[in-house]
Homo-oligomer: A and B are copies of this chain.
């Protein structure tokens, strides 16, 4: 029974790193005997937009809604399409319409990856950011009045729902409970964002007693970013609103060396809809077309996808292969101080899976 995967390369380096992810998945198929059926789609890209005037066809949900997962590259080409148009017309649609309410982002210091932090070694940094992925600060409610005048006012609503907050908190508490340290950190800003954020805190406090074995704490987002830099070893599972999770899941990987290796799972835990797996980095127009992008974020995303599909052994093998290859300097891409190209790095990881 083949896993049916919708493949969406998107824009920029998405088109360069997705093939490396597929290369590794092919290797996984050979090594572990799991079968994949890939369908590739050209929508959710700015090229598609320029041709059709919209980011996706009207029936996009029918086209990919029946797949077991979406393997996604990156979207955005601001030179031709403003980011809020391209993103709201694709990625943010997927997250919302497929109710992928958890954005799961591992942060781990890998062997061989130079970290900007002093005195940190692999093993010191190993945690998850659990980001709310459908509501909060990313709302589409708001607008502008008195445009072009001195009275101009622009407003945008942050929206938190009981259902939306509780379900992501539950996922995070569950995850923390399964881990060794059983430690949950909540990102807040209730001292400044005085309506929605105290509500977030309230829901955390209401849920905590159901997880008596999970130790939890909370920090305001400002000092939390400081702690990421100064004490990344403090964290195990960090749960955050849509915006705060977005920030923390770029900052965390930066502390471990590069966002080029960071993966993300946009997950619908109930499996009513396909989940989407993508690297945290975007389309990176500045280095697109040169085949120098780091494919590890995309490949690690494939590992997260394998976990989600129930292929846990294969997922673990891919992560091991990544670690093996990163430990050897000759396959590191430029963002890691190496000289390897996208393909060389991808091939090395695929080989490591095959021989691993």
Q: Which residues of A line the B interface, CB within 8 A?
A: 76, 82-84, 87-88, 92, 115-119, 137-138, 140-144, 149-163, 189-199, 221-223, 225-227, 229-230, 242-243, 246-247, 249-251, 253-255, 258-259
Separation in Å of the A302 CB from the closest CB of chain B?
Answer: 23
Separation in Å of the A159 CB from the closest CB of chain B?
Answer: 5
Separation in Å of the A202 CB from the closest CB of chain B?
Answer: 9
Please determine whether B196 and A154 come into contact, CB atoms closer than 8 angstroms.
yes
Number of copies of this chain that the complex holds? 2
User: Given A151-B162, A199-B144, A226-B254, are A92 and B156 also a contact pair (CB < 8 Å)?
Assistant: no
Q: Besides the contacts A87-B194, A141-B155, A155-B157, what 9 more A-B pairs have beta carbons closer than 8 Å? A: A76-B191, A138-B192, A140-B195, A155-B159, A157-B158, A221-B246, A223-B250, A225-B254, A251-B251
Enumerate chain B residues within 8 angstroms of A195, measured Cβ to Cβ.
Answer: 140, 142-144, 154-156
Enumerate chain B residues within 8 angstroms of A116, measured Cβ to Cβ.
Answer: 117-118, 229-230
Q: Which 8 interchain pairs have the tightest Cβ spacing? A: A226-B254, A83-B191, A152-B162, A222-B250, A156-B195, A142-B195, A84-B194, A118-B118
User: Given A76-B191, A88-B194, A247-B225, are A162 and B140 also a contact pair (CB < 8 Å)?
Assistant: no
Enumerate chain B residues within 8 angstroms of A157, measured Cβ to Cβ.
Answer: 142, 155-158
Please determine whether A229 and B255 come into contact, CB atoms closer than 8 angstroms.
yes
Enumerate chain B residues within 8 angstroms of A222, measured Cβ to Cβ.
Answer: 246-247, 249-251
Q: How far is the CA of A246 from the CA of B189 in the complex (A)?
A: 10
Chain B CB within 10 A, most for which of A118, A159, A191, A251: A191
Please determine whether A153 and B161 come into contact, CB atoms closer than 8 angstroms.
yes
Please determine whether A142 and B192 come into contact, CB atoms closer than 8 angstroms.
no
Separation in Å of the A96 CB from the closest CB of chain B?
Answer: 12
In the complex, which of the residues B163, B198, B223, B227 contacts A150, with contact meaning CB atoms closer than 8 Å?
A: B163
Chain B CB within 10 A, most for which of A151, A195, A259: A195
Q: How far is the CA of A162 from the CA of B154 in the complex (A)?
A: 8
Q: How far is the CA of A246 from the CA of B243 in the complex (A)?
A: 14
Please determine whether B243 and A189 come into contact, CB atoms closer than 8 angstroms.
yes
Please determine whether A229 and B247 come into contact, CB atoms closer than 8 angstroms.
no
Enumerate chain B residues within 8 angstroms of A160, measured Cβ to Cβ.
Answer: 153-155
For A198, give the chain B residue with the smallest CB separation: B84
Chain B CB within 10 A, most for which of A88, A116, A153: A116
For A221, give the chain B residue with the smallest CB separation: B247
Enumerate chain B residues within 8 angstroms of A247, measured Cβ to Cβ.
Answer: 221-222, 225, 247
Q: How far is the CA of A242 from the CA of B189 in the complex (A)?
A: 12
Enumerate chain B residues within 8 angstroms of A161, measured Cβ to Cβ.
Answer: 152-154
Separation in Å of the A80 CB from the closest CB of chain B?
Answer: 15
Separation in Å of the A238 CB from the closest CB of chain B?
Answer: 14
Q: How far is the CA of A142 from the CA of B157 in the complex (A)?
A: 8
Q: How far is the CA of A222 from the CA of B115 in the complex (A)?
A: 18
CB<8 Å pairs between A and B, sample of 7? A88-B194, A116-B117, A141-B155, A153-B161, A189-B246, A225-B225, A226-B254
In the complex, which of the residues B119, B140, B152 contacts A194, with contact meaning CB atoms closer than 8 Å?
A: B140
Q: How far is the CA of A242 from the CA of B87 in the complex (A)?
A: 24
